[in-house]
Structure 1
Amino acid sequence: MLVEFTALHWIYVVFIVLIIGFMVKRWDTSLISILGIFVLAIVATGDLTAALSKVFNSFIYAITELLSTILIISLIVAMSQVMKKSGINEVMVAPFTKLIRTPTLAYWVTGILMMIISWFFWPSPAVALLGAVLLPVAIRAGLPALGVAMAMNLFGHGIALSGDFIIQGAPKLTADAAGIPVADVVSASVPLVIVMGVVTTITAFIFLRRDMKKGTLELVGTYDGEKVEEKSENLLTLGQKKFFALLIVVAFLLDVLAMSLLKLTGGDATALVGGTAVFILLLLAVVAHKKKGLEKTTSYFIEGFQFGFKVFGPVIPIAAFFYLGDSGFIKIIGEYLPSTSQGIVNDLGLGLAALVPLTKEIAVVTLAGVGAITGLDGSGFSGITLAGSIANLFGTAIGEGTATLTALGQIAAIWVGGGTLVPWALIPAAAICNVSPFELARRNLVPVVVGLVVTTIVAMFLI
């Protein structure tokens, strides 16, 4: 099929290259993304006023597409705040502290517990929920504070966030950019997440044990940076805390069961988890704060939404740009592409297939590289739409593997930028454990790189 390229196609390619360049330089991508939207709009319409309006409309479109993701994360964080204030989180992890008797058990129990809780609450709230409770227990068992931080990072911000199987915020972003169903990305990511997680955590543990035997690691944290630790308040009795801790666990397990039986995925699964979080928040706020329950409920919602928009603020401009690569172009700017066009990204993929003998090996390595580069901004989320968009392009070019390529790009981006390698993304875990985020990033570097290399090789055999 003959693909008709226009100036809009080339402008889109130029700005993709510029955005990647900005990420490599660790510059903020908001300005270049907005400029890209504006240039595409003004070239398409030839009208300055219309182009300015299209920039605003692109933000509305992006926020509309991302709203369910922003909302679920905000609600989960809001719920985690009342759990932390009331001390329910301490009761929830108390049974696991009895298992932590040795440094090895401390590493694996902390990590696995962090992974499970991060699937439901997201890693940043999970660090706050777990860190202050498990850190002293792990140190008493002989695991250095740096080892605790590594376990929380690799299992939470690495395994749990890169798969994001329950909340499905990350898969929705990449799936939308790739133009495929969320369920396809989730299923394709399962083997890759397992390989990445197993290789990375075992490699990290081997290096950790080696240095512990050498005696080169301090048992407690020694970082002089600001350490923020909120203590729980005496809002509930011990019996009430135990009751609500059990209730919360049962409620989310029932959600998972319902997702399985009713085959709920994507937005439906997110809505179920979100609705459960809202009612748990309301119940806890009213019982814990009594007469001030109504007032406190609002304050918890505000905290949650502040967190949600703080995380997704940088994502909106770049997502708005990459939505133009698919059906978003017509909805945002209008029908200015050739009638034979299948969307800018699909057109580029078809053109690339005709010009370059792309192989699945080249596509896989490229996606892993693009994902890692997009993670350099320390967000992990701001660039995964780019990974999805390029996965769509390469998947179209080689005729298969779009879901696997999308999942690989997502995993690479989030492992690098979501909180395991980029120092400024490591601050939550580093602060809780009172260790240097730069030292934590240095410790994570080799295990994560080894994991990415192995996962990339495995991906070649899955396409």
Structure 2
Amino acid sequence: MQLTAAHWVFLAGVVVILATMIMRKNIVVPAVIATFLTALVYTGSLATGLSSVFNASLVAATSLFSIFLIIAMVTAMLRSLEGLGADRRMVAPFRRVMRNGHLAFWTLVIVTYFISLFFWPTPAVPLIGAVLVPVAIRAGLRPLAAGFTVAIAGQGMALSSDYVIRVAPGLSATAANADPAVVADRAFVLSLIVGGIALAIGYAMEIRNIRRPSDQWLDEWDAAADRRSDSAEADPDADRPEGPAGGGTAGGGGAVGAGGRPTGPATVAAERELVGAGAGSPVPLNSAGEPRIVGHGVALRGTPAGEPVPAEAHTVTVVDKPAASKFFAVFVPLAYLALIIYLVIASVSDAVPDLQGGDAAALVGGIALLTVFGAAFARDRSTFMETSAEHIVDGLVFAFKAMGVVLPIAGFFFLGNGEFSGQIMSLGEGVTGPAFLYDLVVAGQDQLPASGLITAFGILLVGLIAGLEGSGFSGLPLTGSLAGSLAEGAGVSSPTLAAIGQMGNIWSGGGTLVAWSSLLAVAGFVRVPAVELARRCFLPVMAGLVVATLFGVLVLG
């Protein structure tokens, strides 16, 4: 393979993007510049270079728009459930189960996992934090252990597989030119392995620290939070994390004040609801007698993993209709649970027909959209058409806030794929474009070890590095592209390598290993330092990732 100057420019762009991720900076700018320079050098045309910047994002948006729609519909469904109070009612029965710290630990795991699987961790964190975490602490679970369970089950295990909504497998599979269903199935298995090992290690580390149930633990928890709140008021930047999360960048909602907190009365009202509801105690106040803001609420970068619930997301007026609330609190989990069972049965047997292509994602969106209409109708029959439309618009806005930043990044890596590069650089109808990434791999394959294990751990490492940016999904086009390019030489299937890269990227940046990711939201609601929580997650998660990678290569192949 004869490499051209454009190939080396593309490779330089990949290296710069990795270096930018390591420095915890946003990678949109280097991705766009690398796209422009690669197209300019390959075609020798300034006009083509400029147009390629636009075409790359357009091609990525065209390929990934179904993902945007799924995000929008699921978010709209959650908004409609909030209007009936059905979202809180879904988790309320579990409060009676947590009679001691051991039951509290595993109850938090199960509830967080399933809510995050259906809706992503974005709504799961405030919901669990407001309703179940105080109960778990009273039952004898330490706040650090509560944060560990929520982070591992939600930001880690549920988000890394994304088996219901399937945004992450879709990104990985598109970049790897693999079957999204196969990537989703293998990512689901690997996520259970990583999560199971991490939870087992975490529980073993915590079992001696579990205490007898007592109201004393809640009092101490509130007192410790008061001390941190007063300290933050004295020095607003004292608890501000380093890196982009502390300053709030694209993808967040609302204004951000000193210390990375949103400002304004809506935030105080939202925090009053989140802290007071379900805790069984008055809203905590700071030393000035004002409602104490517990969650960090920073505007993290735009991904589902790094997008905390903005203050305005909790301003939907709840209508007191118990019957409708109970119905949807039961209907929604059962509907998606039935879909999961169907997908599992279809993948392991021929008893039911398998869903092809994007059929599974379409079913998720269809259930969500009909639920929006039903919940809005149950809330107010006279205005349900207008309310339904507002929920859909809210969902679309959130989808582009959450995933918009991925488009120029994915566009650059699509430029390295021969199926998309011709269209991006406007080479003409039917003209096959250069496969920059694949050509580089082929040219250097003699220097690469022909070992599936080394390749798999290399892609895992790249995913972990990509996740250092703290935004969760932005590295998936890179790990997916590497999986598709390296699979043949490594003797491991591209779906398996893509799933392994997905594990590294999301477990790292999704909110378990880096303190400037959405782990901040978890730490805020359980009221522990985010850095301390990240340290607690590190050893269990890394052990799980190593075992899952070995399993993927040796068993899944």
Whether the TM-score (by the shorter chain) exceeds 0.5 is yes
Q: 1:441: which partner in 2?
A: 534
The CA deviation at 1:346 is 2.4
The CA deviation at 1:207 is 2.3
8 Å contact kept, 2:48–2:426: no
The CA deviation at 1:235 is 0.6
State whether structure 2 residue 479 is matched by structure 1 residue 379. Answer: no
Q: 1:270: which partner in 2?
A: 361
8 Å contact kept, 1:80–1:129: no
- Which of residues 451, 454, 458 is equivalent to 2:547? 454
State whether structure 2 residue 396 is matched by structure 1 residue 309. Answer: no
Counterpart code for 1:25: M
Distance in 2 (CA, whole Å) between partners of 1:350 and 1:137 is 56
Cα distance, 1:126–1:216 mapped onto 2, change above 3 Å: closer
Counterpart code for 2:94: F
- Which of residues 279, 296, 319 is equivalent to 1:235? 319
Q: 1:251: which partner in 2?
A: 335
Q: 2:177: which partner in 1?
A: 179
Counterpart code for 2:377: V
8 Å contact kept, 2:414–2:421: yes
1:19-418 matched pairs, under 5 angstroms? 19-212=17-210, 219=221, 222=225, 224=229, 228=271, 229=274, 230=314, 233-256=317-340, 259=343, 260=346, 261-326=352-417, 327-335=419-427, 343-418=435-510
Superposed CA deviations along residues 15-65 of structure 1, whole A, max 9, x for unmatched, are 111111110111111110000110111112222122211111111111111
SS in 2 for 1:353: coil
Cα distance, 1:461–1:311 mapped onto 2, change above 3 Å: same
Give the unaligned 5+ runs of structure 2.
233-260, 262-267, 275-313, 347-351
Moved more, 273-282 or 94-103: 94-103
Distance in 1 (CA, whole Å) between partners of 2:315 and 2:40 is 53
Distance in 2 (CA, whole Å) between partners of 1:141 and 1:233 is 31
Q: 2:247: which partner in 1?
A: none
The CA deviation at 1:439 is 2.9
More helix by share: 1
SS in 2 for 1:379: coil
Counterpart code for 2:359: D
Moved more, 390-399 or 323-332: 390-399
The CA deviation at 1:316 is 1.2
Distance in 2 (CA, whole Å) between partners of 1:265 and 1:167 is 15
Q: 2:300: which partner in 1?
A: none
The CA deviation at 1:410 is 0.3
8 Å contact kept, 1:4–1:341: no
Counterpart code for 1:345: L
Cα distance, 1:253–1:450 mapped onto 2, change above 3 Å: closer
Cα distance, 1:255–1:360 mapped onto 2, change above 3 Å: closer
Cα distance, 1:231–1:49 mapped onto 2, change above 3 Å: closer
Distance in 2 (CA, whole Å) between partners of 1:210 and 1:258 is 40
The CA deviation at 1:440 is 2.2
Moved more, 394-403 or 225-234: 225-234
Counterpart code for 2:378: V
Cα distance, 1:233–1:274 mapped onto 2, change above 3 Å: same
Cα distance, 1:341–1:396 mapped onto 2, change above 3 Å: farther
SS in 2 for 1:377: coil
8 Å contact kept, 2:457–2:549: yes
SS in 1 for 2:446: helix
- Work out the number of aligned pairs and report it: 459
Moved more, 439-448 or 47-56: 439-448
Superposed CA deviations along residues 130-176 of structure 1, whole A, max 9, x for unmatched, are 33221232122122333222211111110111111111110110111
Q: Once superposed, what is the RMSD of the aligned Cα atoms?
A: 2.6
Distance in 1 (CA, whole Å) between partners of 2:31 and 2:164 is 30
Counterpart code for 2:336: F
SS in 2 for 1:331: helix
Cα distance, 1:132–1:340 mapped onto 2, change above 3 Å: closer
8 Å contact kept, 2:64–2:171: yes
Moved more, 238-247 or 260-269: 260-269
8 Å contact kept, 2:451–2:491: no
Cα distance, 1:202–1:404 mapped onto 2, change above 3 Å: same
8 Å contact kept, 1:87–1:233: no
8 Å contact kept, 1:380–1:413: yes
8 Å contact kept, 2:160–2:507: yes
SS in 1 for 2:445: helix
8 Å contact kept, 1:157–1:420: yes
Distance in 1 (CA, whole Å) between partners of 2:44 and 2:469 is 33
The CA deviation at 1:400 is 3.0
The CA deviation at 1:371 is 0.5
Moved more, 369-378 or 303-312: 303-312
Cα distance, 1:369–1:438 mapped onto 2, change above 3 Å: same
Moved more, 230-239 or 207-216: 207-216
8 Å contact kept, 1:84–1:129: no
8 Å contact kept, 1:341–1:347: no
Distance in 2 (CA, whole Å) between partners of 1:453 and 1:248 is 35
SS in 2 for 1:167: coil
Counterpart code for 2:477: T
Superposed CA deviations along residues 395-427 of structure 1, whole A, max 9, x for unmatched, are 132243322211111001100101112223213
Counterpart code for 1:381: F
Distance in 2 (CA, whole Å) between partners of 1:78 and 1:149 is 27
Distance in 2 (CA, whole Å) between partners of 1:362 and 1:85 is 51
Distance in 2 (CA, whole Å) between partners of 1:253 and 1:216 is 35
Counterpart code for 1:407: A
The CA deviation at 1:216 is 11
Cα distance, 1:11–1:318 mapped onto 2, change above 3 Å: same
Distance in 2 (CA, whole Å) between partners of 1:347 and 1:11 is 13
8 Å contact kept, 1:143–1:219: no
